[in-house]
Chain A
Amino acid sequence: MARDFGFDADRTGGVEALPKALRRRISGHYPVDPFGLDPQLCDLVAPAFGVFVRVRVDHPERIPATGPAALVSNRGLGVGEPAALGVAMRQYAQRRLRVVGAPIVPVLGAVSRRLGAVSSSAEDLGSALAAGHLVAVPLTPTWLRAGAGLPPLALVQAMMPYPVLPVSVRPGGPFHTPIVWDVRIGLPITLGRTYTPGDPLGAAELGEAVRAAVGGLLAGDEADEIAPSSTALHDW
């Protein structure tokens, strides 16, 4: 991963003193990555996110310490789940999370990209994974956070050559309020048969498997029992 001005596009950093951070902004001594992520800005606002978005993570050791991986998670309406997942990755794995689904609106889109969002397209998802990033791919949103949504086939095709982990994110406060979020990481999904990357049938099967795994995590099943029996990653 490239390091410019002491910032890493993949690993999180510490918080700088405000005067020093402002001097950096004015003098242009801060990096930007090709997707628009601004590591210095992310590190500056991270403490505020940490205060408002509190998380508990089940099986954080399953988060890859380095290299690409797709975290497929449920999503309700709003940005609660992606924000909770981003905070969880920062606190438990010290990695920056790229979240698929940058809005295509002038100012909001640019701001979300500065904070790590990427387009909801197979092209950008493939590029982000090829660059070695940790990427969150939300299933389609469900009303009232009622369960796992549908897996977008084109996105699943793009993530086939990489480790795919099911993740559930749900409010863990009293009466299911988002005072704290419960994040559960499942085992990497693998398929019983070998498919070439991008194969539509293989992608559909992978999509169904990951959807079932996310649904199981949301239903409260033991995370160890949800993924298919083989613990090996993709063998193609």
Chain B
Amino acid sequence: MRVLVTGMGGELGTRVAQLLEERSDVREIVGFDFVPPRRRLRRAEFRRIDPRNRERVVEFVTEYAPEVVAHFGVYEPASRMSLQAAVERTEFCTVGALGAAARTGALEYVVSRSGLEVYGRRSSRASVPDESVPPEPATPYGTSLLQVETITAGIGRRHGIPVSSLRYAPVVGSHVPSPLGRLLRLPFVPVPAFADPPFSLLHPEDAAVAMVTAITRRHDGPLNIVGSGAATPFQAARLGGRIPVPILGTMWGWAARGTELGGAAIAPHVVELLRFGRTGSGARAIDALGLPRFQSTQDVLRELFEWADVVPILTAREEVA
């Protein structure tokens, strides 16, 4: 099969390309992104294209005519760029790449990166939502992810092909640019004053393996991809030897400014996670993909805290590779 990996320059996109290279049933792999891949790729072909340059994206995808699209061109705010730039790039990449791939007529399968952020605030009714819970995003990133899912599902309906969206728990790891990961490694970590809600994490390797398995199995429909267990903001901060700073509801705006000065800009979806928690039921994915249980949230945290300290960068104002 011929596979297109959008967002190949990111940690997950690069790792997925590496895993696809090891498979004999994958004849060709191409990808594009606005930054180069983070590891050496042996077979995959990479083209440096900014997703906002729609003409080049469409031209590249049309020329390649992929049979499978692994859509990682989904950018998290405050990860490597500001909120507006992330939402804009995600939209351009999704519409440009998926639209062009669908028009070639060769498309057989699409799998998109999504996140538990689509479920919105962790409610008392569905505190551990499974895939049957209707998405109700409450942040710009959640809305952006739901839009990607909607476009992906629309392509599936229109062309009669299986499509999937993998709703990842926050992916945190030593090489993944994550606003949550940076925040937890600050010396002082803001935590809710009157709550300590659980959140789950996902190891980058599990995220990549789940994507490749979804491709090989051609799974149809959304799946929650969640590391086992959970942590709370207070417990996670203490596990890393950090000092938790209780924040009242009205003070989160100030807390966000403070953490940005400390080197970790936080977007609304990160504040939502800290205040209301973020977990999901990953039981269906384990069954559907035939994978062993994913690494636990506590293991992901332990690996995170073994990494070096935060280096201040102004991610909200500048774009960094």
Tell me whether A and B are bound partners: yes
> Once the chains bind, are A29 and B198 in contact (CB under 8 Å)?
no
> Once the chains bind, are B235 and A30 in contact (CB under 8 Å)?
yes
- For B242, give the chain A residue with the smallest CB separation: A28
> Once the chains bind, are B239 and A27 in contact (CB under 8 Å)?
yes
> Once the chains bind, are A35 and B229 in contact (CB under 8 Å)?
no
B293 CB-CB contact with A under 8 Å = yes
Residues of B within 8 A of A36 (CB): 127, 197-198, 230
A residues adjacent to B (C-beta < 8 A): 2, 4-5, 9, 26-36, 102, 104, 106-107, 109-110, 118-119, 121, 123-124, 126-128, 130-131
> Once the chains bind, are A33 and B125 in contact (CB under 8 Å)?
no
- For B293, give the chain A residue with the smallest CB separation: A2
Residues of A within 8 A of B228 (CB): 2
Q: Can you offer 12 A-B residue contacts whose CB atoms are under 8 A?
A: A2-B228, A28-B234, A28-B236, A29-B239, A34-B200, A36-B197, A36-B230, A119-B127, A123-B126, A123-B133, A127-B130, A127-B281
Known: A27-B238, A119-B127, A123-B130. A5 touches B298 (CB 8 A): yes
Known: A2-B293, A106-B194, A130-B281. A34 touches B298 (CB 8 A): no
Ordered nearest first, which 5 A-B pairs have the shortest CB separation?
Answer: A28-B238, A28-B239, A34-B279, A130-B283, A123-B126
> Once the chains bind, are B235 and A32 in contact (CB under 8 Å)?
yes
CB within 8 A of A34: which of B128, B235, B238? B128
- For A113, give the chain B residue with the smallest CB separation: B127
A121 CB to nearest B CB, Å: 5
B38 CB to nearest A CB, Å: 29
Residues of B within 8 A of A28 (CB): 234-240
Q: Chain B contact residues (Cβ within 8 angstroms of A): what range?
A: 35 or more
B10 CB-CB contact with A under 8 Å = no
Residues of A within 8 A of B237 (CB): 28
Residues of B within 8 A of A118 (CB): 127
A110 CB to nearest B CB, Å: 6
CB within 8 A of A32: which of B231, B240, B281? B231
B181 CB-CB contact with A under 8 Å = no
CB within 8 A of B128: which of A29, A30, A128? A128
- For A3, give the chain B residue with the smallest CB separation: B296
B21 CB-CB contact with A under 8 Å = no
Residues of B within 8 A of A106 (CB): 194-195
Dominant SS at the B interface?
Answer: loop
B91 CB to nearest A CB, Å: 30
B residues adjacent to A (C-beta < 8 A): 124-130, 132-133, 194-198, 200, 226, 228-232, 234-240, 279-281, 283-284, 293, 296, 298-299
A28-B236, A34-B127, A124-B125 provided; 7 other pairs, C-beta below 8 A?
A4-B298, A34-B128, A35-B127, A36-B197, A104-B124, A110-B195, A124-B126
Residues of B within 8 A of A9 (CB): 229
Known: A4-B296, A33-B229, A106-B194. A127 touches B128 (CB 8 A): yes
Residues of A within 8 A of B230 (CB): 31-34, 36
Residues of B within 8 A of A34 (CB): 127-128, 198, 200, 226, 229-230, 279-281
- For B196, give the chain A residue with the smallest CB separation: A110
Residues of A within 8 A of B128 (CB): 34-35, 123-124, 127-128, 131
> Once the chains bind, are B229 and A2 in contact (CB under 8 Å)?
yes
**What's the Cα separation between A178 and B123 when bound, in Å?**
35
A105 CB to nearest B CB, Å: 10
CB within 8 A of A119: which of B125, B196, B280, B293? B125
Residues of B within 8 A of A119 (CB): 124-127
> Once the chains bind, are B130 and A33 in contact (CB under 8 Å)?
no
CB within 8 A of A121: which of B125, B226, B279, B283? B125
**What's the Cα separation between A121 and B298 when bound, in Å?**
27
> Once the chains bind, are B229 and A31 in contact (CB under 8 Å)?
yes
B246 CB to nearest A CB, Å: 14
B169 CB to nearest A CB, Å: 10
Residues of B within 8 A of A27 (CB): 238-239
